[in-house]
């Protein structure tokens, strides 16, 4: 047994003299590379759309769609970066504003982010959307120029809050006297476009660019390109990149997934003090990424969300699936045991829908004819991972024994 300080020293030392990473940051999701393989056409298209801004004109609005990890964000940020560099050299006023809506998915937060991007300080609540919008208008006109607002992953806004804000933004130029605003909407889902107000649709869709998914070969090129900068020569086993590419290709060619996989594989190797990254690291990285994702999702669930998930885990144990009614019964037992207030059936039904959207369970509605209509629910993520996080997170002493026995099915209580 080593002394604790020895172990810490060892960790720090290993870290300082990384024999794996030349520059780990090159693999992070927000790094914008100089070379984007297999996206030359998309870059050209977007550049042509935005070029008029260099003459001080307002470019057309654009709609970009493609599945996650097809390079939409990277291409857009790349072109925007080049554009503002060029504009800076020519002394033209172009302001790109990039907003990712995934975690800022309400109208207020989006407009607040726009405000902040142009240098306005706004509180996180207390003002109305209209008020912030007005302040943005005056600020935009006070600093005349062309503004290009990119709304990445607008699906998250529209799905839950409609397209009112989008409509407002598409008409913002009517309220501006001296500045011009172009909008670029980015979305993962093709069906989203149809759910938009026709006026928003036609305004945003002045130009459209579709990003096709990458295939395994293309993913390999992308990974090799990045790996050259991120890793030292020769630390990657030859089968590492093909494996990462193949795994990600299965997930509709998601390049972000592939890069995550490669990065975490490297981190794993580094943490273990290994000299080389092997396919074993990749396979383990896949498990680790999934476990982290599950833990993150569960942690941010409201209390009754966790309890419903626990109920699903308990009911589906052994036979792998459950129905809404069974889950609700189990949930009520759990809540009673804890002496908590129970939420309504309707709410539990809603929670099940939410868990499904988060990808932590799979729920599909079926009809059993005479025996009614219900949802068949299964855990979508690794049950062990879910159980582990739940037992730790709920940390309800009185019942942790019951939970552990009930959920994991190991059949023993710890007390």
Partner DNA sequence: CTTCCACCGGAAGTACCGGTAA
Partner DNA sequence: TTACCGGTACTTCCGGTGGAAG
State yes or no: residue 242 binds DNA (CB under 7 A). no
State yes or no: residue 357 binds DNA (CB under 7 A). no
Segment interacting with DNA, rule: CB under 7 A, options 47-55, 127-135, 167-175, 214-222:
127-135
| 65 phi, psi to nearest 5 deg | -135, 155
Give the torsion sign (CA, 126, 132, 138, 141): positive
Q: Are 327 and 348 in contact (CB under 8 A)?
A: yes
Nearest to DNA of 50, 313 (CB atom): 313
Which residues within the stretch 156-195 sit at the binding site for DNA (CB under 7 A)?
A: none
State yes or no: residue 116 binds DNA (CB under 7 A). no
State yes or no: residue 318 binds DNA (CB under 7 A). no
Segment interacting with DNA, rule: CB under 7 A, options 32-40, 72-80, 117-125, 289-297:
117-125
The torsion defined by the Cα of 345, 350, 355 and 359, in degrees rounded to 10, comes to: 140
State yes or no: residue 100 binds DNA (CB under 7 A). no
Residue 104, Cβ density class (10 Å: 0-12 exposed, 13-18 middle, ≥19 buried): middle
Segment interacting with DNA, rule: CB under 7 A, options 107-115, 197-205, 247-255, 407-415:
107-115
Q: By CB under 7 A, name the one of 18, 84, 106, 280 that touches DNA.
A: 106
Count the site residues for DNA by CB under 7 A.
Answer: 41
Nearest to DNA of 126, 238 (CB atom): 126
Q: By CB under 7 A, name the one of 126, 198, 318, 339 that touches DNA.
A: 126
| 314 phi, psi to nearest 5 deg | -70, -50
Nearest to DNA of 17, 300 (CB atom): 300
Q: By CB under 7 A, name the one of 198, 234, 339, 369 that touches DNA.
A: 369
Q: Are 172 and 137 in contact (CB under 8 A)?
A: yes
Q: How far apart are CA 36 and CA 255, in angstroms?
A: 11
State yes or no: residue 125 binds DNA (CB under 7 A). yes
Q: By CB under 7 A, name the one of 59, 66, 107, 213 that touches DNA.
A: 107
Hey, how many other C-beta atoms are within 10 angstroms of the C-beta on 194? 9
Q: How far apart are CA 87 and CA 93, in angstroms?
A: 7
Strand intervals (E) in 236-392: 322-323, 361-367, 373-379
Q: By CB under 7 A, name the one of 2, 55, 346, 415 that touches DNA.
A: 346
Q: By CB under 7 A, name the one of 213, 266, 305, 388 that touches DNA.
A: 305
In three-state form (DSSP H/G/I as H, E/B as E, the rest C), the secondary structure along 241-286 is HHHHHHHHHHCCCCHHHHHHHHHHHHHHHHHHCCCCECHHHHHHHH
State yes or no: residue 415 binds DNA (CB under 7 A). no
Q: By CB under 7 A, name the one of 2, 55, 370, 412 that touches DNA.
A: 370
State yes or no: residue 109 binds DNA (CB under 7 A). yes
Q: How far apart are CA 4 and CA 271, in angstroms?
A: 17
State yes or no: residue 343 binds DNA (CB under 7 A). yes
State yes or no: residue 303 binds DNA (CB under 7 A). yes
Nearest to 68 by CA among 286, 247, 255: 255
Q: Which residues pair with 185 in a beta bridge?
A: 63, 151
Closest contact distance (angstroms) between CB of 156 and DNA is: 11
Nearest to DNA of 201, 304 (CB atom): 304
User: Distance from first CA to last CA of the chain, Å, rounded?
Assistant: 29
Q: By CB under 7 A, name the one of 108, 117, 167, 402 that touches DNA.
A: 108
Q: Which residues contact DNA (rule: CB under 7 A)?
A: 106-109, 123-130, 302-305, 323-326, 341-344, 346-347, 349-353, 365, 367-375
């Amino acid at each position: 047994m080593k002394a604790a300080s020895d172990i810490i020293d060892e960790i720090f030392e290993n870290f300082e003299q990384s024999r794996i990473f030349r520059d780990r940051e090159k693999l992070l999701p927000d790094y914008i590379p100089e070379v984007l393989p297999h996206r030359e056409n998309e870059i050209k298209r977007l550049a042509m759309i935005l070029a008029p801004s260099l003459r001080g004109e307002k470019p057309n609005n654009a709609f970009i769609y493609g599945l996650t990890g097809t390079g939409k964000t990277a291409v857009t940020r790349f072109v925007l970066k080049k554009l503002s560099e060029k504009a800076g050299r020519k002394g033209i006023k172009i302001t790109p504003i990039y907003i990712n809506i995934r975690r800022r998915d309400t109208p207020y937060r989006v407009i607040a982010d726009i405000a902040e991007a142009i240098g306005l300080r706004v509180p996180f609540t207390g003002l109305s959307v209209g008020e912030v919008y007005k302040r943005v208008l005056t600020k935009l006109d006070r600093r005349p120029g062309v503004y290009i607002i990119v709304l990445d992953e607008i699906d998250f806004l529209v799905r839950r809050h409609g397209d009112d804000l989008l409509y407002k933004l598409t008409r913002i130029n009517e309220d501006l006297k001296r500045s011009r605003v172009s909008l670029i909407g980015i979305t993962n889902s093709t069906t989203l476009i149809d759910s938009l107000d026709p006026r928003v649709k036609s305004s945003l869709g002045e130009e459209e660019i579709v990003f096709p998914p990458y295939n395994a070969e293309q993913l390999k090129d992308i990974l090799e390109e990045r790996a050259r900068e991120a890793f030292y020569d020769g630390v990657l086993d030859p089968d590492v990149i093909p494996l990462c590419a193949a795994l990600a290709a299965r997930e509709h060619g998601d390049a972000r997934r592939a890069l995550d996989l490669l990065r975490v594989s490297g981190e794993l190797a580094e943490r273990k003090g290994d000299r080389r990254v092997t396919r074993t690291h990749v396979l383990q990285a896949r498990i680790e990424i999934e476990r982290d994702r599950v833990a993150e999702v569960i942690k941010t669930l409201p209390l009754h969300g966790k309890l419903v998930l626990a109920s699903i885990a308990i009911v589906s144990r052994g036979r792998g699936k459950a129905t809404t009614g069974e889950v609700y019964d189990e949930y009520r037992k759990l809540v009673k045991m804890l002496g908590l207030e129970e939420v309504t059936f309707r709410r539990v039904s809603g929670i099940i829908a939410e868990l499904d959207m988060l990808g932590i369970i799979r729920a599909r509605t079926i009809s059993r004819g005479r025996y009614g209509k219900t949802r068949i629910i299964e855990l979508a993520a690794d049950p062990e991972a879910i159980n582990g996080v739940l037992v730790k997170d709920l940390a309800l002493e009185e019942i942790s024994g019951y939970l552990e026995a009930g959920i994991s099915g190991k059949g023993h209580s710890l007390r």
